[in-house]
Amino acid sequence: MAEQLLHFHRPARAGKLERTGLFLRRHRTPIIAVQWLIVLAYTGLLLIPAFLPLPPEDAHIWDNLRLGAQFCFWGLWWPGVMIATVGLGRVWCGLFCPEGFLSERVSRYGRGKALPAWLKWPGWPFVAFIGTTVYGQLVSVYEYPQAALLVLGGSSVVAVVIGLLYGREKRIWCRYLCPASGVFAVLAKIAPLHYKVDRTAWDHHKGEFEPVNCAPLVDIRRMSSASDCHACGRCAGQRNAVALSRRSPFAEVLDLSTPARTLEALTLLYGVLGVATAAFQWTLSPWFLHAKLAIAEWLVEHEHFTLLDNDVPWWLLTHYPEASDLFTWLDGALISTYLVGGGFLLGSLLLLGPAIASRLTADKALSWQRFTLALTPLAAASVILGLSMLTVSHLKAEHVWLGWLPAFRITLLGAGCLGSLWLVTKLLGHSTADRIARSLAAAAMLLPISAMATLWTLVFFVW
């Protein structure tokens, strides 16, 4: 019966990509089995290490579960997810993510309540990203499995609760609340693979067809961006109008008919390039160290010792006496200020370039949001560079040869900068402004690109 209703065909000349999309649609059962295996592995790596003692000095990532889980989560998983999103779109969300999968599965048996207005506020992913990033640094989520269980496990519990309360076989958590959703949405814009919708074929399709359950609630007929699509393949072949396809990685940003959303631009500036960058480099920053020493000296001189107290619960600030790792209230205040305040200042500095460029071109289609999205390749390079620092720290501990690392970092940063410059140049090619205005706009866009290049150069080669 299903085959009779499934009114889509594999065209005789369908390419490998299109056949891959159809394969994903037709083989949901093995995909679900893989997702259950990921849930089991994720749960084990999250729970078991939290109850293990500190690893001995001669432990390795291959013979100590605590170190191994830490490397899997932060040395492989997160960098791999970001690289996959840039290269393949949101395949992690659609095919592998345990939180999204669990939230969707439990929603089949939940209450199925209508979504309240407060939950649909589009700013939640941005706020959640900032909150989890800052909180994760305060409890040292990268170093300790208890903190990882608290942050990642807590997120998973909330995802399940949301699934039990709202929607029916939908990923309400992913669409409206997931802290990483906004970042994935930005990075997926430059993915060279996407599900292309032929609106003409969709509208003129005749005959029966099997309805599609789009779990992240995407309007497939009008889908023109890879940002919201979870790349699960469920809609492949729908009405013979949806197909997994190649595209230029810059096509979406350069397509002036697609919206350049303010929230996505702010997420890129203040989230990916702002707070996230500050989170990656605060431990190396001499500015942070000098500020901490100066304030601590002043507090001691004036006999104000409350902020220097380190008797703080581990779930609020890092507190592991057995590892001699104790954060004071001063540490917590300075880390929060550095990440939020520094991220806001950096994001505002980067915003100057798109704002000036948009003002100079005076073209409604070339808004500051559009120019901001031109920084997506740089944002992708930045977040991968930052997350790879965790990978490098593990490899260094294992005495792995890293002579290739400087060249890799320079190449990746250079590719991000050049990709953004190329996008700026192509966008300015659409401008009707005179040559002087376009030249000044290009110069303005050099500000955020050079600022990020300088900052990463300081992190890797100066500090």
Residue pLDDT tens, the chain, 463 long = 344 344 445 454 568 999 999 999 999 999 999 999 999 999 999 999 999 999 998 999 999 999 999 999 999 999 999 999 999 999 999 999 999 999 999 999 989 888 999 999 999 999 999 999 999 999 999 999 999 999 999 999 999 999 999 989 999 999 999 999 999 999 999 999 999 999 999 988 887 778 889 999 999 999 999 999 999 999 999 999 999 999 999 999 999 988 899 999 999 999 999 999 999 999 999 999 999 999 999 999 999 999 999 999 999 999 999 999 999 999 999 999 999 999 999 999 999 999 999 999 999 999 999 999 999 999 999 999 999 999 999 999 999 999 999 999 999 999 999 999 999 999 999 999 999 999 999 999 999 999 999 999 999 999 9
Instruction: Classify residue 241: in a domain, yes or no.
Output: no
Closest CA to 325 of 142, 155, 73, 463: 142
CA distance 378 to 353: 14
Instruction: Classify residue 251: in a domain, yes or no.
Output: no
Q: From residue 396, how far is each of 29, 197, 405 by CA, in Å?
A: 41, 46, 11
Are both 33 and 162 inside the same structural domain? yes
CB 214 within 8 A of CB 197: no
Are both 81 and 178 inside the same structural domain? yes
Are both 281 and 146 inside the same structural domain? no
Picking from 158, 187, 216, the residue at the C-terminal end of a domain is 187
Closest CA to 136 of 159, 152, 160: 152
Are both 160 and 294 inside the same structural domain? no
CB 460 within 8 A of CB 406: yes
Which sign, positive or negative, has the C-alpha torsion 162, 33, 78, 181? Answer: negative
Cα 429 off chain centre by = 30
Q: From residue 98, how far is each of 23, 183, 388, 441 by CA, in Å?
A: 21, 18, 22, 44
Instruction: Classify residue 392: in a domain, yes or no.
Output: yes
Q: Domain span at residue 30? A: 2-187
Instruction: Classify residue 279: in a domain, yes or no.
Output: yes
According to DSSP, residue 166 is labeled: B
Are both 123 and 40 inside the same structural domain? yes
CA distance 251 to 404: 32
Closest CA to 202 of 172, 235, 241, 234: 241
Return all residues near 40 (Cβ < 8 A) that are at least 6 apart. Answer: none
CB 179 within 8 A of CB 125: yes
Picking from 138, 165, 187, the residue at the C-terminal end of a domain is 187
Are both 299 and 174 inside the same structural domain? no
Determine how many CB atoms are found less than 10 A away from the CB of residue 203. 10
Determine how many CB atoms are found less than 10 A away from the CB of residue 16. 9
Picking from 187, 218, 253, the residue at the C-terminal end of a domain is 187
Burial-class residue 255 by CB neighbours within 10 Å (0-12, 13-18, 19+).
middle
Instruction: Classify residue 321: in a domain, yes or no.
Output: yes
Instruction: Classify residue 229: in a domain, yes or no.
Output: no
Are both 285 and 167 inside the same structural domain? no
Look-up of token digits 């005959």:
207
Are both 328 and 445 inside the same structural domain? yes
Domains held by the chain: number: 2
Instruction: Classify residue 421: in a domain, yes or no.
Output: yes
CA distance 246 to 422: 20
What was the pLDDT predicted at 2?
Answer: 41
Q: From residue 417, how far is each of 270, 356, 366, 448 by CA, in Å?
A: 18, 19, 20, 10
Instruction: Classify residue 357: in a domain, yes or no.
Output: yes
